[in-house]
Structure 1
Amino acid sequence: MNTIMLKAYAKINIGLDVLGKRPDGYHDVRMIMQTIRLYDKLNMKRIGKDEIILKTNLAYLPTNENNLVYKAIQLLREEFHIKQGVYVELQKHIPVAAGLAGGSSDAAAALIGMNRLFHLKLTKADLMKRAVTLGADIPYCILGGTALSEGIGEVLTPLAPMPRAYIIIAKPPINVSTKYVYENLKLDEQTKHPDIDGIMEAIQTRNLVGITERLCNVLEEVTIERYPVIQEIKDTLLSYGAMNALMSGSGPTVFGVFQDLELAKKAFYQLKVQGKAKQIYLTDVFNRRRG
C-alpha cells in the first residue's frame, strides 16, 4: 500500500460542561461528543524523498510544522525512524476554527493513515495515547461515534450510538478565540450546567427528545454575549422546526437537530436567505467508529 484516502469527520458537542480550572492551566471538562457526516479528505502517499509535503485547497492554511497534520506525520516518522517521505493532499470542507474539531480530526486521520501506510501495527489505543500529545480532541477523533469525554478531553468512554437525526451546521463569518472564551468563563452558583448523566441515559434508551431537551453548552454564555449572531442563528433554527439548537465547542458554529428532513431543508433555506451564516451544511449523525 503506497497510497491511502481517509475521511476526517467533524464532531459536535451534545453537552459541554466545564468543571473547573486545573493547576496546569487547562480546564477539566465533561462532554458528550458526536461525529457527524461532514468530513475533510486526506489523500496520503509514500514518497522516496525524506520530507513531508502537504498541499491544501485553502491558501491561508499553514502547510508546515504549524499544521496538525504535519505534526502528526512527523511524530510517527521520528518515533519509528521512517526515512521515506509522505505527500498529503488535504481537502478541507469542515469550517476552520469553528468548534467542530476539523484540525483535530485531520490530525487523527493522518495518524491512522501513517499507521496503515507504514504497517506500524499500532492499536487504536496506541494511536490515542500518542494523539493526546498533539491535542486534547484528537484521541476522540480517532475513536469517533458517540462518547463521554472527561479530563481535558482525553479520558473517553464510548457510548451507545445516538439515534438517527438530521443536523444543520451553520457557521457565521466570525472567528472565536477559545482562549478568550475560557479566560472569560465564570463558574459560580448561577452557572447553568448541562445534565450530562441525563443525556447519557437518553442516548442509552435512544430517546431523541430526551437528548435534545437537555442540549446545553456552558461556554455559550461567554460567546453569545460577545457575538449575538450566534443566538440569532439558534433562534432561526428553532423557529423553523429544530428540536433544539446549540453552539458547538467554544463556537462560533451552531447546530440544529431535526427529526424531520423536510423541516430541516426549510430551515437550511431560511439560513441561506438570511445570510447570517457563511457556511451552512445539512447532514446527519454518523455513528460508525474509526477502524
Structure 2
Amino acid sequence: MSSIIEKAPAKINLGLDIVGKREDGYHELSMIMVSVDLSDYVTVTEIDSNEIVIESNNHKMPLNGRNDVFKAAAMIRERYGISKGVKIVLEKSIPICAGLGGGSTDAAATIRALNQLWDLNLSKSEMVSIGFEIGSDVPYCIEAGCSLISGKGEVVECLDSRISSWVVLVKPEFGVSTRTVFPEIDCSTISRVNIPALKEAILSQDYQAMISHMGNSLEDVTISRKPFIQKIKDKMMKCGADVALMTGSGPTVFALCQTEKKADRIVNGMRGFCKEVYKVRIL
C-alpha cells in the first residue's frame, strides 16, 4: 500500500486582536500567524477494512471521533463517497493544548494528504471549506506560512514575509482549552492590538516596528487565570528576548531574537524554569 506523508508545522501568533462579538455569538478575530519549524508528521495509508484507524506516539491523544484528524478523514469520506478505509499515523512533536495549533495543523495535513491519496483534486478553497468545519485555525494551516486571518478564521490572506528570527518556545506543565477562554472575554475592556500597523511592519521588513506592534488580546484572560504565564514572559525578557508573547489562547509563550547566541541564552535561562523549551526558526 502506498503512503502519503505530510509535514504539519506549529504556528505562533505575532498578533491577535479581538475585534468584537458577532451576532452569531462568535468573536470577530484579526490575527497574524507564522509557521515555525516545530512539526508533527501525518502519514496516511489506505487499508482494506472500511474504517478510520488512528495511531500516535503521544498517549494523551484521543484516537477516536474527538480527534480533529479523525473528523477530517470522516468528513472527506462522507462528502466524496469514499468507501475505502484509511490508517493515519500521527507523529507528534508539537505539545497539545499549547496554543501552537497542533490539532489544527494535523487536521490540515490530513486533508492535504487524503486529497493526494484518493486523487480528489480538491482546490485550496475546497480544502479550506472542509477545514473551517473542523476548527477556526484549520483554514490557515492548509497553507501555513505568514498570513493575516480575519472573520471567524475562514478569511486567510497570505503575506509576503521574510521575517528572519530565532524563536524560543516555552510550554508550562499545564494546558489551556481555547473553548474555556472565549466565554470570559469582555470586548469593552480587553486590550487591543493594532493588526494593520503590524501587517505594514512585516511587509516593509521593519523588525523593530514589528515587535513594537505585536500583542495578544487573549493574554488578559489567560494570564488572569494562570499568572505563571506572566512570570515566563518576564524571565524571557530578563534573559534578553526582543519580545515575549503568549501564542493563541496559551499557555505557550514565545520569544523572538535575531541572533542564535541570544536564543541560546534564553533557552539556558528557561530550562530550569520549565521542562518543555524549544529553539526553532520562523519558516
TM-score interval, normalised by the smaller of the two chains: over 0.9
Counterpart residue number, 1:282? 279
Shift of 1:162: 4.1
Shift of 1:240: 1.4
Matches within 5 A, 1:123-134: 123-134=123-134
* Per-residue deviation, residues 6-47 of structure 1 (Å, max 9, x unmatched): 111111110000011122221001111111111101111111
Does the 8 A contact of 1:163 with 1:207 survive in 2? no
12-21 or 74-83: which moved more? 74-83
Structure 1 gaps of 5+ residues are: 287-291
Does the 8 A contact of 1:29 with 1:149 survive in 2? yes
User: What amino acid does structure 1 have at the position aligned with 2:17?
Assistant: D
Shift of 1:89: 1.0
Does the 8 A contact of 2:271 with 2:277 survive in 1? yes
Counterpart residue number, 2:270? 271
- Using the alignment, how far apart are the partners of 1:104 and 1:124 within structure 2? 16
Does the 8 A contact of 2:146 with 2:158 survive in 1? yes
Shift of 1:177: 3.0
Counterpart residue number, 1:203? 202
Pairwise CA RMSD of aligned residues?
1.2
Structure 2 gaps of 5+ residues are: none
User: What amino acid does structure 1 have at the position aligned with 2:67?
Assistant: N
Shift of 1:157: 1.0
TM-score, with length taken from structure 2:
0.97
User: What amino acid does structure 2 have at the position aligned with 1:180?
Assistant: T
Which SS does the other structure have where 1:213 is aligned?
Answer: helix
- Using the alignment, how far apart are the partners of 1:191 and 1:47 within structure 2? 49
| Count of aligned residue pairs for this structure pair | 283
Matches within 5 A, 1:29-44: 29-44=29-44
- Using the alignment, how far apart are the partners of 2:84 and 2:178 within structure 1? 36
Matches within 5 A, 1:45-84: 45-84=45-84
TM-score, with length taken from structure 1:
0.94
- Using the alignment, how far apart are the partners of 2:88 and 2:178 within structure 1? 28
- Using the alignment, how far apart are the partners of 2:99 and 2:11 within structure 1? 8
- Using the alignment, how far apart are the partners of 1:175 and 1:145 within structure 2? 25
Shift of 1:178: 2.0
* Per-residue deviation, residues 233-262 of structure 1 (Å, max 9, x unmatched): 111111111110100011001000010101
Shift of 1:180: 3.0
- How high is the sequence identity, in percent, across the aligned residues? 39
User: What amino acid does structure 1 have at the position aligned with 2:123?
Assistant: T
